[in-house]
Structure 1
């Protein structure tokens, strides 16, 4: 038996089969980033139109997490693929 998450992951891997390991990791990375960007746009759009698919309690938790994330330091870009992350 499989879950939706594993089916989605298998779909990404199926399209990227035959690639080198580094290319496979990059393909997975860009697919995950694209997924998060689509979800972020969906959430921001629903906040503007007050048609959120989330319960009010979840919306409040998301707002609190968003406020906490704004207070964290930004990662420092060392070069294109590398960042220095400062832990508080």
Structure 2
């Protein structure tokens, strides 16, 4: 799990490697904010669908464990 997270973060930094430190920090910050906003939009979409109070991944897990 640690390797996976570090590889993802490394992928973010790959495009910004040649930048100065301040630009590197800004690029990382804005990328992280973008991810949070994308997840927030997904959560709002799931909420508005009102199929279930759970996100799809949790619904799949619940189906596996109740079957």
TM-score for both structures, normalised by structure 1: 0.55
**How many correspondences in the alignment?**
55
Verify: 1:2 aligned to 2:3, yes or no. yes
- Structure-2 separation of matches of 1:54 and 1:44: 15
Query: Aligned Cα RMSD in Å?
Result: 2.0
- Structure-1 separation of matches of 2:9 and 2:57: 24
Unaligned 5+ segments in structure 2 are 60-67
Per-residue Cα deviation, 1:28-78 (whole angstroms, up to 9, x for no partner): 00000000000000000000002422649xxxxxxxxxxxxxxxxxxxxxx
- Structure-2 separation of matches of 1:24 and 1:36: 19
Matches within 5 A, 1:31-46: 31-46=31-46
The runs of 4+ residues in structure 1 deviating greater than 4 Å are: none
TM-score for both structures, normalised by structure 2: 0.71
Unaligned 5+ segments in structure 1 are 57-88
Specify which structure has the bigger relative contact order, considering alpha-carbon pairs within 8 angstroms and separated by 6 or more residues: 2
**Higher strand content, 1 or 2:** 1
